[in-house]
Amino acid sequence: MPIAIRQLHPVFAGEVSGIDITGPVTPEDVAAIEAGMDKYAVLVFRDQRFTDEQQMAFGSNFGRIEVSRGGNVTKPQDLRLKPGMNDVSNLAKDGRPLARDSRQRLFNLGNLLWHSDSSFRAIPAKYSLLSARIVNPKGGNTEFADMRAAYDALDDETKREIEDLVCEHSLMYSRGSLGFGEFSEEEKEMFKPVRQRLVRTHPVTGRKSLFLASHAGAILGMPTPEARILLRDLTEHATQPRFVYVHKWKLYDLVMWDNRQTMHRGRRYDESQPRDVRRTTVAGDAPTVAQVAGE
Ligand SMILES: [Fe+2]
């Protein structure tokens, strides 16, 4: 049976039915899912009981799987999951919720700010795949914003103004905005800012989108406060309800999104209870703009 996609929001996001993606999938199915991603930018698959190995195998149909190093402050010996899996849970290695003052937890709260995964890497992410293994009883929605529709809705003057702007993205900017500002020398090196275009064009559809994230903290050639006001204005514009799909998690949902065309954020939840969501990230193909020589 061919897959079917039902649109979930007026401008984007679709729910896929007619396929089990936990096992091998055919090249035709992979092509149909890619085409669905190009069109809807967010796809929801229900009742997919993944193991980590199966989730990584499915993700690798769409490109290279990114390793999580460089994206958090969790020490290698404290990791709960394998290197190809990003831990978006509130759990420590022993399976219990992290303590309130845990540095790992406080850093990870940055996931509740609007962002695009790995925009702080020179080659930012293509897709993310998030699998719900334990759903928290209260809160914890994930919200997605369609950055193509947000771009389209800008006036022509703004489009001209921002067309060639280049931003600097770093985890130190997003965490710094929450008052999390203490980084070791090793972390400062790991989280060094990278450059990203503010407007990017989708390689298949040719649609332009705003490439924003709370990781963006500077714009080349612009005084910092002016840059941050512009970034805040654009983010406020792009995250209006008319551009936002709210995903309410059910157990074994797999949600897949295109980081080149969307932003997302988690919402608060009852952290005394477990929430186990696990992400696989498919790396992008190329930087959005040249980096500084020697970096
Ligand atoms: Fe994320």
Ligand 1 centroid–CA 254 distance in Å is 14
pLDDT of residue 69: 83
Ligand 1 centroid–CA 152 distance in Å is 23
pLDDT of residue 250: 98
Residues 6 or more apart whose CB falls under 8 angstroms from that of 237 comprise: 150, 153, 154
Ligand 1 centroid–CA 201 distance in Å is 21
Ligand 1 centroid–CA 257 distance in Å is 10
Ligand 1 centroid–CA 119 distance in Å is 10
Residues of the chain with pLDDT under 50: 294-295
Ligand 1 centroid–CA 157 distance in Å is 31
| Mean pLDDT value across the chain | 96
Ligand 1 centroid–CA 162 distance in Å is 24
d(CA 274, CA 72): 20
Ligand 1 centroid–CA 142 distance in Å is 9
CA Rg value for the chain = 18
125-134 and 86-87 strand pairing: unpaired
Q: How big is the chain, counted in residues?
A: 295
pLDDT of residue 294: 47
pLDDT of residue 290: 93
Share of the chain above pLDDT 90, in %: 94
d(CA 60, CA 57): 5
d(CA 235, CA 211): 10
pLDDT of residue 70: 85
Please report the DSSP string for 51-73 in residue order: -HHHHHHHHTTSSPBPP-TTS--
Give me the phi and psi of 231, to 5 degrees please: -65, -40
Please report the DSSP string for 175-233 in residue order: HHTTT-----HHHHHHT--EEEESEEE-TTT--EEE---TTEEEETTS-HHHHHHHHHH
